[in-house]
């Protein structure tokens, strides 16, 4: 007879609330989450009002939030979450792709489309395991050590005045500014973020981003044109931006070799 006491099971790491007006959608997501022992579902809600009551009482770590619901959509819950400390992470779950752009710009950890696949959900949960923390103290999804992001993966970009979720492939370039980086997006927006270029380099897909020099990472799919201006300087134009980036001969040679 084995007299050794059994090792107690580790407690779930993330306390989760599901918010969706469709009971069948909540059941389906619950079934998917059962294969992730680090997740504990502590409550369910069918609208924003009941969700807010649950959140204030239970203080969850993570909320799976449907966007399209009667009376108030999921976005209406976000201002209420900003008052909480710590603020729970949010994963949007919706069948409506039309909400994708707005979801990317919201303070969300990830964006899942219905029906939620096991593989895509597993990737979201994996990012929760060791979430890096931004200067605001809010986790944002980047790759774990040894794992790189892919073009369709979401990443949270945060500055003092702006917070948005974008696909990795929508980042046109990243410039180093000391411990900060300047992010240029394909749609023309830019923002400064407290994250080093070397950290970005370790996370971004190598088949998409090229380091042309010490201070610049370029998305090769975002290059519109590269023009030689004189003996020593080239000008790089990226998709959706009017700004021209100055490159040296060596930097332009490195980039042209990958185009």
Every domain of the chain and the residues it spans:
8-131, 153-259
Domain boundaries 8-131, CATH class: alpha beta
Q: Full-prediction pTM beyond 0.75?
A: no
For 131-172, how does the pLDDT look when each residue is reduced to its tens digit (9 = 90+)? 444 443 333 444 333 467 788 776 777 766 566 667 889 899
Low-confidence ranges of the chain (pLDDT < 50): 1-3, 11, 130-146
Predicted local confidence at residue 138, as pLDDT: 39
> Is it true that 8-131 and 153-259 share their CATH fold?
no
| The predicted structure's pLDDT at residue 134 | 41
* Phi, psi for residue 65 in degrees, rounded to 5: -120, 120
pLDDT in the model for residue 193: 87
In this structure, the number of other CB atoms found within 10 A of the CB of residue 183 comes to: 24
pLDDT on residue 21: 95
pLDDT on residue 187 = 78
3-state secondary structure of 188: coil
pLDDT score, position 215: 92
Backbone angles phi, psi at 93, to 5 degrees: -130, 115
CATH topology of domain 153-259: OB fold (Dihydrolipoamide Acetyltransferase, E2P) (2.40.50)
């Amino acid at each position: 007879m084995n007299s050794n006491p059994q090792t107690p099971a580790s407690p779930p790491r993330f306390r989760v609330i599901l918010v969706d007006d469709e009971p069948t959608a909540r059941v389906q997501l619950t079934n998917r989450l059962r294969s992730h022992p680090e997740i504990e579902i502590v409550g369910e809600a069918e609208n924003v009002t009941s969700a807010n009551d649950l959140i204030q009482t239970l203080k969850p770590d993570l909320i799976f939030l449907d966007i399209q619901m009667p009376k108030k959509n999921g976005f209406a819950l976000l201002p209420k979450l900003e008052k909480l400390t710590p603020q729970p992470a949010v994963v949007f779950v919706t069948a409506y792709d039309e909400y994708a752009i707005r979801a990317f710009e919201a303070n969300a950890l990830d964006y899942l489309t219905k029906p939620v696949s096991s593989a895509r959900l597993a990737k979201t949960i994996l990012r929760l395991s060791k979430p890096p923390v931004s200067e605001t103290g809010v986790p944002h999804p980047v790759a774990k050590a040894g794992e790189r992001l892919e073009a369709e993966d979401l990443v949270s970009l945060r500055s003092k005045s702006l917070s948005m979720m974008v696909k990795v492939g929508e980042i046109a370039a990243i410039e180093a500014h000391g411990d900060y980086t300047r992010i240029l997006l394909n749609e023309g927006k830019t923002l400064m973020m407290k994250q080093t270029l070397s950290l970005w380099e370790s996370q971004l897909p190598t088949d998409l981003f090229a380091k042309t020099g010490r201070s610049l990472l370029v998305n090769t799919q975002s290059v519109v044109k590269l023009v030689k201006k004189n003996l020593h300087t080239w000008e790089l134009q990226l998709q959706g931006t009017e700004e021209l980036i100055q490159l040296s001969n060596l930097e332009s040679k490195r980039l042209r070799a990958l185009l």
